Amino acid sequence: MAATLEKWAARLDAIVEVCGWVAAWTGFALVLVMAGNVLLRYLFHTGSVAMQELEWHLMSPLTLLCIAYTIKHEGHVRVDIVYARFPAGVRNIIDLFSALAVVALAVIIVRLSWPYMMQSYRIGEGSPDPGGLPYRFILKAMIPAGFMLLLLQSLAATLRAIQPFLGGKGEPSARVTPDAL
């Protein structure tokens, strides 16, 4: 049973890994767009509303789609100094509870943001500024997409957190031991 759970968790991880890697490349595009905007503004005394809006259109996937990727690679903030001092059983319970809490949060945000994005799509919302970008629903779609990825990553974490309770490997996700502190 634990091997099956781990196989499913690995599949969910793979989806998050690919999406995070692709979304991370928007960071490179963002740097290029920002550098271009600065050059246009200070060297040529001109600018483009669409190019300025493109900056936050690129920031959205970078931020929202990389949340799950960051959690997968344990780049998030956790109070390891306290967590690492708990016995393995307590850490397992904390891991399971926190994974389930994030699953619930992700489901709520996806449910609330979907109508917001769909309304934007239905009305053909674009930038209110002259010369701005059309298709604002794409930007708004990053909210449910990012939290859907977070949901997938949290489901993978939940599958891993359940394993110790089913006789699987009992090591909680913490990489820090009290001796390392």
Q: Is 76 exposed, middle or buried (0-12, 13-18, 19+ CB in 10 A)?
A: exposed
Q: Give pTM, 2 decimals.
A: 0.80
**Kind and range of the H or E run holding 84:** none
Domain range for residue 147? 2-180
Greatest mean pLDDT range, 22-31, 39-48, 98-107: 98-107
Confidence bin at 104 (pLDDT 50/70/90): very high
Q: How far apart are CA 26 and CA 105, in angstroms?
A: 26
Looking at the structure of the chain, the number of domains it has is 1
CB-based contacts of 180: which residues, under 8 Å, 6+ apart? Answer: 84
How sure is the predictor about 176, in pLDDT bands with cuts at 50, 70 and 90? very low
Specify the residue for token string 């997409």: 145
Rounded to whole angstroms, the Cα distance separating 67 from 155 reads 14
